[in-house]
Amino acid sequence: MTPKTYEAFQESLDLTTPPKDWPDSLRALWFAAKEDWGASHDIAQDIHTSMGSWIHAYLHRWEGDKWNAGYWYRQAGRPFPEYGMEEELKVLVEAHF
């Protein structure tokens, strides 16, 4: 079942894998929260929506590639965030509710 709150999402991090019935975007964020950049990026780069671009931007920001992140934020129609990575993860997850 897809989580309905950020707290429920955080509780799911005790699992060994994200539930298969979750949307790909939420699964990508689950891997990001588990600090598995590669698995998250593999999923995000195949999501051809503004949410996929936003997650892709977040991941490149995380790796320190500001130029590439900026490109993906523009693709997502979002400004480069003025807040930290943890806050952005929360905002991204909550965009699914």
Q: For the residues of 6-43, what is the DSSP string, one character each?
A: HHHHHHHTTSSS--TTS-HHHHHHHHHHTT-HHHHHHH
Is residue 15 one of the residues assigned to a domain? Answer: no
pLDDT, position 4: 94
Low-confidence ranges of the chain (pLDDT < 50): none
The pLDDT value given to residue 78: 97
Task: Report which residue type is found at 24.
Answer: D
The number of domains in the chain is 1
User: 32 lies in a domain?
Assistant: yes
As a whole number of angstroms, the distance between CA 15 and CA 88 comes to 22
Tell me if 76 is assigned to some domain: yes
At 31 the pLDDT is 98
The reported pLDDT for the residue numbered 97 is 87
pTM of full prediction above 0.75:
yes
For helices 24-33 and 85-94, the axis angle rounded to 10 degrees is: 150
Tokens of 15: 């699992």
54 assigned to some structural domain:
yes
How much is the pLDDT for 19?
94
